[in-house]
Structure 1
């Protein structure tokens, strides 16, 4: 099978390589909780020094690409997005290192215009589980 990569990156959905990916973003967002108490006053004043703890981590992945009608990977991406099914998105670099992300697509969009002259897709993926992929394991 011919490798389909951009910038040394390979994207798979449920084990099928997705062609013509032009952008991939993997993001983390940490929510915080204010745990400031009565004892958290700056010395010599009556002003509270706020203290926070991390309370939740949210993780997403976003991807964009050029639509290819006959690409099995793009078809699988669209199928799981339209059905709301859980999926596995594997994101690896040129050495085969990266992450296997399990979750579901929260958005999927296809668009095109005469001025752009190309039909594109984009999707956002909510990550519920993540595991590390080592180049030694990927083939």
Structure 2
């Protein structure tokens, strides 16, 4: 197990801009406040979404696109550096009007309305390629 103690440096709340990309809005907040590590939660609604699922056998992401309005029932993730760039690793549970839940790694989505809480950490978190999983994981 790779772990460390983190110390919070700041907390932010933000309203995401309608029509913007969900994940990019979180990354934009992190860049604006020089956050190189943090944890976030969010909720709201999107107009569409690209959700990724990691195929552990093939060690690659499979993408599913939903071109419909969806509620963001829950969204969690973290901010770190990937190849020197701000990266918001974002997972979400999305729901249809029927209540059917869709979930996975949220690659992109068009914001209808969204609110995010971001807790920033003092020390940066960096990602690097992990041979065992073929993923970019924290160092």
TM normalised by structure 1 equals: 0.23
TM normalised by structure 2 equals: 0.23
For CA contacts below 8 A with separation 6 or more, give which structure has more relative contact order.
2
Larger radius of gyration: 1
